[in-house]
Amino acid sequence: MGRAPCCDKANVKKGPWSPEEDAKLKSYIEEHGTGGNWIALPQKIGLKRCGKSCRLRWLNYLRPNIKHGGFSEEEDNIICSLYISIGSRWSIIAAQLPGRTDNDIKNYWNTRLKKKLLGKQRKDQLAARKGLKAQETKRGINNIGMINSMVDVNSENTGPNIMNINQNPYWPELPILAPQPYSSEFEQRRDNHASIRKLLIKLGGRFSDDGDNDNNRPIHDVGSTVHHPNHLFPININPSGTTTQQLYELSGDVTSSSAPAVFGNSAVGFTQAGQHNGITDYEPGSSNMLLQGQTSSSTTTTIAQLAELDEEKAYNDPAQVLDGLEFLFDGNSTSTSTTYGWGDQMSSFIYSNPLIASHDYEGMQRGILSEQECLLSDQSSTFLEAQ
């Protein structure tokens, strides 16, 4: 049975909002709130708009403290870092950037950041390829295939199919693959809460299926109603594991349109406690997964620790999927400075670690990697499953 339309499409105005409509919507919500029912809202105000359209207009444009444009370098870094970590979960990313909406970030990524990355990557890869060519000529050996070996999961062979760099002039270390359906196993895992949980556990979060257990609540929110979690991705990037580095620690009440962390439309570990002025309050609990912000180095899974999980596989893993993104993690980053420099640690980790590779399969495929026709190895998926 099909889903009933949320409104009468024939009698609903579409297209850009007029200042009058904006004023009506804004003044009503500021005075009365949304009432928790967007569908009924336009009728109350006398707007010939779909409720969803009203919601979108409010969240993305009219709501207070919205910032438009002018993304700072720090914000760039956060967006890119999170994209690398979790893919196109724009609402989650937006939750880490006060005043930014998921739509804004999505647009910004699609129109600017992605191109920036790809442009940089192309440049670096061409340079790297030149270097390799020269090396090959000098030594008289062909080790490029090994260096750039990729697992051709499209091959009918069960074993990896080593592909040669020269098969792809622009993406030398990436496989040339026809669009390939996911394996049924992987298909099941996509958009699966369990896999997301795995991912976030790897990234340092902790989950609980029993939200009623206070022990599983975020440390900083135990026993209290919170607006939004402040620590979503407590990634300790110090390879020694002795220093805790909170990458995305925000202070204050983040009134993002989509905060707190949301997967699907479930707040992770938080239930909706109420609304005021269109801003949703959340409280810990419910049967949802609970992501815990951790601040203790003893409990935080560090990137270095993850990398150590399988150094050999990491060494052999061919998925140099993020080659060229170093600039995102250079030591000059104001938001992510570390003892060792965010750059080397993070990029080398991502390059080599099958954990990240497999975690990022979905997001990457939808983003950067899809454009490069890059598939990650079955080995990576298997490795994740084993964790």
* Residue numbers at the binding site for DNA (CB under 7 A): 1, 3-4, 6, 9, 13-17, 34, 36-40, 49-53, 55-57, 60-61, 68-69, 88-92, 102-104, 106-108, 110-112, 115, 191, 193, 257-258, 262, 264-266, 271-272, 280, 286, 288, 366
Instruction: Determine if the peptide bond prior to 16 is cis (ω within 30°).
Output: no
Residue number, 47 or 237, with CB nearest to DNA: 47
Task: Classify residue 307 by its DSSP letter.
Answer: H
333 burial via Cβ count (<10 Å: 0-12, 13-18, 19+): buried
**Residue 118 CB neighbours (<10 A):** 15
Residue number, 21 or 317, with CB nearest to DNA: 21
Residue number, 346 or 368, with CB nearest to DNA: 368
Shortest distance (Å) from residue 254 CB to DNA: 13
Residue number, 36 or 331, with CB nearest to DNA: 36
Shortest distance (Å) from residue 255 CB to DNA: 13
Residue number, 51 or 234, with CB nearest to DNA: 51
Shortest distance (Å) from residue 229 CB to DNA: 13
Contacts of 192 (CB under 8 A, 6+ apart): none
Shortest distance (Å) from residue 87 CB to DNA: 7
Contacts of 252 (CB under 8 A, 6+ apart): 98
Shortest distance (Å) from residue 61 CB to DNA: 5
Q: Any alpha helices (H) in the chain, and if so which ranges?
A: 19-32, 41-45, 51-57, 73-86, 90-95, 102-108, 114-139, 144-147, 184-189, 193-202, 303-308, 311-316, 342-352, 354-359, 361-366, 368-371, 378-386
Give the span between the Cα atoms of 271 and 273, in whole angstroms: 6
Give the span between the Cα atoms of 384 and 387, in whole angstroms: 5
Residue number, 60 or 348, with CB nearest to DNA: 60
252: left (phi over 0), alpha (psi -120 to 50) or beta: left
Residue number, 88 or 320, with CB nearest to DNA: 88
Residue number, 122 or 133, with CB nearest to DNA: 122
**Structure tokens belonging to residue 385:** 């499953």
Task: Classify residue 231 by its DSSP letter.
Answer: B
Task: List 279's β-bridge partners, or say none.
Answer: 276
Shortest distance (Å) from residue 363 CB to DNA: 8
Shortest distance (Å) from residue 267 CB to DNA: 8
Give the span between the Cα atoms of 323 and 45, in whole angstroms: 52
Shortest distance (Å) from residue 55 CB to DNA: 6
Determine the distance from the C-alpha atom of residue 280 to the mean position of all C-alpha atoms in its chain, rounded to a whole number: 22
**Structure tokens belonging to residue 295:** 């601040």
**CB of 304 closer than 8 Å to CB of 239:** yes
Residue number, 55 or 129, with CB nearest to DNA: 55
Give the span between the Cα atoms of 275 and 249, in whole angstroms: 24
172: left (phi over 0), alpha (psi -120 to 50) or beta: alpha
Shortest distance (Å) from residue 329 CB to DNA: 23
Shortest distance (Å) from residue 108 CB to DNA: 6
Residue number, 61 or 340, with CB nearest to DNA: 61
The amino acid at residue 219 is I
